[in-house]
């Protein structure tokens, strides 16, 4: 069953084509700098070995970008499909929609529900809505499926999802913790289940441009650092993470506009806000090494927040069998992993510093006698999405 998974960023489009149930990637493609005349397009057909990279190509919007990709996907030399009819479904790592928390066919009602939450996910929902509409107009007969990032977290008990606010706000407006990065944490949970069997206590740390920590009991999410929006939890690349709500009215009283405040929270905050250097941890690490105190502070604030969530989730889970790092920072920053793990000996982590420093890609960071096993596992959100769609279509739960 051929399933295409499309990951939509504010200026990027990434694609992976699978022939499920095999999780091998048949085609992998990416357009960066969507919206510009000097976009970069790379395409690889793993079946035929065809590979091409175009630089300085005009991709003025998602419609241009998607047409370009489809031309390659169906092309004589580059193509993996003879006809678009061979494609069973197109899956999207959609973020959230009002009232839809699982896996859904992307009908007009679902798109309207995504539009209703544009204010909650301003950086994520608009690009997805636009790209999905383009796909629908180009391929009106194909099944389009949204795997909402909130789906994995519907198993969190209400006592941990409810905010201590007037209960009517929960009932009337749906204000509660929803949680995100479901595709990534779900994928990690599945990897651990393959190693550990049905029963395990796992803390999954997805640390990237956007980060979240998730407590997982026997494969199910039981708590997460994200809240109603993606503005909560640990610091992100340029989003603040956890913030006292009363900072906002106070800053308003000081003469800042709401726009300026929100800009500070979701564009100029996070690692960028503290460090003043960059939103990319590589630059911040370099600056810290060169003696920049604010860069060092940003790294410490990030690691402190992660340690705090791990401690809280350890208690909620009643222990920790596995601790997993994933995402761009989790998979690549030995410094951040070391700063976090050396503080976890009280939670049964025996950390192997040398293994950590030597590690490239997947591996184990704990000593063989460590009560808690610490792993780095590269996430693969697209496989999780393709798998979910394959299972739902096979079970007749989605139109086939
Ligand atoms: P992601 O959003 O998962 O792609 O993660 C992106 C982030 O990972 C980047 O902004 C960097 O901060 C971080 N990152 C990637 N590679 C490295 C590296 N080698 N060392 C430190 N941080 C890295």
Nearest CA to ligand 1 atom 15: 328
Pocket test for ligand 1, best of 206, 212, 237, 333 (most atoms within 8 A of CB): 333
Residue 101 is given by DSSP the state -
Ligand 1 centre and the CA of 72: distance in Å? 29
Nearest CA to ligand 1 atom 19: 332
Are 320 and 202 spatial neighbours (Cβ–Cβ below 8 Å)?
Answer: yes
Ligand 1 centre and the CA of 74: distance in Å? 33
For 2-148, CATH number out of 3.40.640.10, 3.30.420.40, 3.30.413.10, 2.60.120.470 equals: 3.30.420.40
Nearest CA to ligand 1 atom 20: 333
Ligand 1 centre and the CA of 306: distance in Å? 16
Ligand 1 centre and the CA of 384: distance in Å? 21
Q: What is the pLDDT along the chain (400 residues), one digit of tens a residue?
A: 999 999 998 788 999 999 999 999 999 999 999 999 999 999 999 999 999 999 999 999 999 999 999 999 999 999 999 999 999 999 999 999 998 988 999 999 999 999 999 999 988 999 999 999 999 999 999 999 999 999 999 999 999 999 999 999 999 999 999 999 999 999 999 999 999 999 999 999 999 999 999 999 999 999 999 999 999 999 999 999 999 999 999 999 999 999 999 999 999 999 999 999 999 999 999 999 999 999 999 999 999 999 999 999 999 999 999 999 999 999 999 999 999 999 999 999 999 999 999 999 999 999 999 999 999 999 999 999 999 999 999 999 987 4
Question: CATH 3.30.420.40 region(s) of the chain?
Answer: 2-148, 192-381
Q: Rounded to 5 degrees, what angle do the CA atoms 184, 225, 218 make? A: 55
What does DSSP say about strands 143-147 and 87-92: parallel, antiparallel, or unpaired?
A: parallel
Helix orientation angle between 334-341 and 293-317, rounded to the nearest 10 degrees: 50
Q: Is the CB of 280 under 6 A from ligand 1?
A: yes
Question: 166 exposed, middle or buried (CB, 10 Å; 0-12, 13-18, 19+)?
Answer: exposed
Ligand 1 centre and the CA of 397: distance in Å? 37
Pocket test for ligand 1, best of 282, 325, 327, 361 (most atoms within 8 A of CB): 282
Indicate which atom in ligand 1 lies nearest the CA of residue 237: 10
Alpha-helical (H) ranges within the chain are 62-73, 108-115, 125-138, 158-161, 167-173, 182-196, 247-253, 258-266, 270-275, 281-289, 293-317, 327-332, 334-341, 353-358, 381-394
Superfamily of chain region 192-381: ATPase, nucleotide binding domain (3.30.420.40)
Q: Cα separation of 29 and 124, whole Å?
A: 20
Are 43 and 71 spatial neighbours (Cβ–Cβ below 8 Å)?
Answer: no
Q: How many CB atoms lie within 10 A of CB 265?
A: 20
pLDDT at res. 189: 98
């Amino acid at each position: 069953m051929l399933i295409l998974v499309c990951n939509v960023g504010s200026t990027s489009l990434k694609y992976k084509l699978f022939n499920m149930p095999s999780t091998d990637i048949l085609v992998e493609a990416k357009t960066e700098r969507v919206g510009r005349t000097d976009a970069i397009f790379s395409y690889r057909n793993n079946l035929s070995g065809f590979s091409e990279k175009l630089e300085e190509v005009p991709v003025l919007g998602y419609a241009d970008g998607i047409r370009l990709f489809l031309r390659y996907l169906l092309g004589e030399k580059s193509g993996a499909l003879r006809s678009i009819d061979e494609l069973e479904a197109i899956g999207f790592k959609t973020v959230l929609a009002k009232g839809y928390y699982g896996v859904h066919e992307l009908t007009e009602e679902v798109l309207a529900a995504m539009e209703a939450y544009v204010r909650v996910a301003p950086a994520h929902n608009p690009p997805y809505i636009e790209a999905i509409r383009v796909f629908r107009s180009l391929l009106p007969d194909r099944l389009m499926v949204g795997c909402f990032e909130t789906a994995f977290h519907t198993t969190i008990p209400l006592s941990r999802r409810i905010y201590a606010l007037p209960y009517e706000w929960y009932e009337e407006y749906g204000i509660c913790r929803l949680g995100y990065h479901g595709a990534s944490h779900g994928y990690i949970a599945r990897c651990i289940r393959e190693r550990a069997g049905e029963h395990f206590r796992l803390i999954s740390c997805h640390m990237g441009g956007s980060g979240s920590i998730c407590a997982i009991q026997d494969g199910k999410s039981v708590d997460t650092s994200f809240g109603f929006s993606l503005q909560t939890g640990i610091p992100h690349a340029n989003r603040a993470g956890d913030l006292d709500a009363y900072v906002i009215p106070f800053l308003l009283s000081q003469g800042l506009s709401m726009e300026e405040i929100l800009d500070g929270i979701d564009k100029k905050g996070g690692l960028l806000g503290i460090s003043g250097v960059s939103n990319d941890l590589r630059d911040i690490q370099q600056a810290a090494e060169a003696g920049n105190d604010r860069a060092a502070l940003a790294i410490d604030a990030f690691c402190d927040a992660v340690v705090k969530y791990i401690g809280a989730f350890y208690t909620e889970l009643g222990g920790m069998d596995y601790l997993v790092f994933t995402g761009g920072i989790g998979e690549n920053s030995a410094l951040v992993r070391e700063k976090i793990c050396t503080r976890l000996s009280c939670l049964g982590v025996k950390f192997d510093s040398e293994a950590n420093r030597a590690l490239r890609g997947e591996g184990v960071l704990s000593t063989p006698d460590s009560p808690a096993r610490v792993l780095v596992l590269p996430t693969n959100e697209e496989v999780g999405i393709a798998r979910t769609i394959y299972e739902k279509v096979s079970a007749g739960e989605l139109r086939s």
